Structure 1
Amino acid sequence: MATLIRPSLSLQRPKSLAAQLAKDLSDRIARGELKPGDKLPSEHEMVASYGVSRTVVREAVSSLKSAGLASARQGVGVFVLDASSIAPFRIDPEELDTVKEIISLLELRTSLESEAAALAAERRSAAQLERLRQALELMGRAVDTQQDGVDADFSFHQEIAQATNNRYFIELFAYLGMMAIPRSRIGMYKSDIAARNAYLKKVDLEHHAIFQAIAEKNAEAARLAMHRHLSNSRDRLKRASETASGLGTHKT
């Protein structure tokens, strides 16, 4: 019989470390300390100077990108934009404060990343497949060591975008940043390590199915595997939310 799990589901507060770092950087831009065209400090430099994790830095930088204040140049770094160049389409990370909004973003990702997986299967190089395999191994190690695996999860999806060899998929995923990983914004299973490990093992298995299809250059299988993975992620989030609200149960 399936075990009933009641996860701890908590929304991050608006003044999270990432939000504070994003505000500090945006204030520096507003004051002119960081001017249009200037390169932002590297991830390593910000981790050292602010005393925060790489995940916090990535989410803060993602916030700046979504606000139209910064833009990534592949292989070079992240640069400050002129305020007048704000893109018409944007996702404000601070608006992703409800399960409903995060599910909406997952639905957008499902349509986009399913096609990205198919293109990656058709176009990936041997070197790109190796980087994808390394990202998959990172996820496996996170599961084995009972880590949350957010960075590894993000890296896996980012490498798939890279393997499309389509700059727009690559730039869009860079724009989404850590917003793309639901549990980077919502604490799932914080008080239930066993439930979190079971959840991450399911994610890891789904990643393996995607990887296998891309390795075999089977575009349709890759498309279906990615669609299944993100649909499952949406459904798991819905069930976790309902359980935390006392409206349902979550089965492992």
Structure 2
Amino acid sequence: MKVTQGSVSESITRHLAGRILHGQLAPGLSLPGENELAAEYAASRTSVRNALQTLAAKGLVSIQAKKRSTVAPREQWNLLDIDVLGWLSAGQLDYALVEQLMVTRLIFEPNIATLAALHANAGDLAEMEQALLLMRAGQENHRRAQFESGDIAFHHALLQATHNPFLVSLGNALSAAMALSFRRTAEQDLSQTREAVDEHYRLFEAVRFQQPEQARQHMRTILLNAARKHIWQTPPGILRHIL
């Protein structure tokens, strides 16, 4: 395979990561040796070595001296790494990861909404309102990119409104994870998203009027409605323990 896009090592990294993340290379599998990979990608051994080291740093492969690199167990993958999330979004995400991503959102986001209701300032509210206007315009005009942009911006503004430095420091990773989730739970027909947009407005009103419990509940409703439509016909029992 001739690699042409970006730097050679980055292209090799991206291609191997995609094969790992989307199940073509299973955990525990030994990868071809550096010479074989260099021949496959029409690249130097240095480029291959750099690619493997990058993948190892992100938990996707395990490198041992004088042995072939192996695909690491999924538990070692750094799934909140921005690059890893980007590679995941480039292909079909398997059901188990979609489910676990929604569970993660259900753990974090209702609490983020609660904190936003307690700490949001005028600037935060303005950011949320602008995002909602973008989201509504995308829904009404059937412009998916505009709708998704507004949706992601709204959730990011909520995160910023917590004014919690630890949560905000996770902002890019959480936002990227949310964006990945949105694309797996979005309605194909934007005309069917009116109720979801209305629920976001209700969440915004709860934040604006400093109603933390109502904000928490509205966020739960947003997430569970999306999950019921696209992930769970019957929500799993684990939800009883985290909601």
Is TM-score (shorter-chain normalized) higher than 0.5?
Answer: yes
Asked if 1:156 is matched to 2:154, the reply is yes
Bigger fraction of residues in helix: 2
Taking the aligned partners of 1:128 and 1:29, their CA distance within structure 2 comes to 39
**How far did 1:179 drift?**
3.0
**Structure 2 spans left out of the alignment, 5+ residues:** 14-54, 60-75, 234-243
Taking the aligned partners of 1:119 and 1:231, their CA distance within structure 2 comes to 20
* TM-score (structure 2 length as normaliser): 0.57
Taking the aligned partners of 1:169 and 1:26, their CA distance within structure 2 comes to 35
* TM-score (structure 1 length as normaliser): 0.55
What value does the CA root-mean-square deviation take over the aligned residues? 3.2
Aligned in 2, Cα 1:215/1:25: closer, same or farther, shift over 3 Å?
farther
- The C-alpha deviation readout for 1:62-102, integer Å capped at 9, x for no partner, is xx9x949xxxxxxxxxxxxxxxxxxx772143557123311
Contact (CA 8 Å) 1:179, 1:185: kept in 2 or not? no
- Percent sequence identity is 22
Bigger fraction of residues in strand: 1
Q: Higher Cα Rg: structure 1 or 2?
A: 2
> 1:175-190 maps to which residues of 2 (within 5 A)?
175-181=173-179, 182-185=181-184, 188-189=187-188
Taking the aligned partners of 1:216 and 1:231, their CA distance within structure 2 comes to 23
Contact (CA 8 Å) 1:111, 1:227: kept in 2 or not? no
Q: What is residue 104 of structure 1 aligned with on the other side? A: 100
Taking the aligned partners of 1:187 and 1:153, their CA distance within structure 2 comes to 10
Q: 2:214 aligns with which of 218, 221, 240?
A: 221
Contact (CA 8 Å) 2:185, 2:226: kept in 1 or not? no
Aligned in 2, Cα 1:130/1:187: closer, same or farther, shift over 3 Å?
closer
Taking the aligned partners of 1:99 and 1:225, their CA distance within structure 2 comes to 25
Aligned in 2, Cα 1:204/1:26: closer, same or farther, shift over 3 Å?
farther
Contact (CA 8 Å) 1:110, 1:230: kept in 2 or not? yes
Contact (CA 8 Å) 2:160, 2:168: kept in 1 or not? yes
Aligned in 2, Cα 1:126/1:188: closer, same or farther, shift over 3 Å?
closer
> 1:220-239 maps to which residues of 2 (within 5 A)?
220-238=213-231
Taking the aligned partners of 2:186 and 2:9, their CA distance within structure 1 comes to 28
Q: What is residue 211 of structure 1 aligned with on the other side? A: 204
More displaced 10-residue stretch of structure 1: 109-118 or 153-162: 109-118
**How far did 1:155 drift?**
0.3
- Give the structure, 1 or 2, with the largest relative contact order (CA under 8 Å, sep 6 or more): 1
Asked if 1:202 is matched to 2:195, the reply is yes
Taking the aligned partners of 2:182 and 2:105, their CA distance within structure 1 comes to 15
**How far did 1:238 drift?**
2.2
Taking the aligned partners of 2:94 and 2:11, their CA distance within structure 1 comes to 29
Taking the aligned partners of 1:161 and 1:218, their CA distance within structure 2 comes to 16
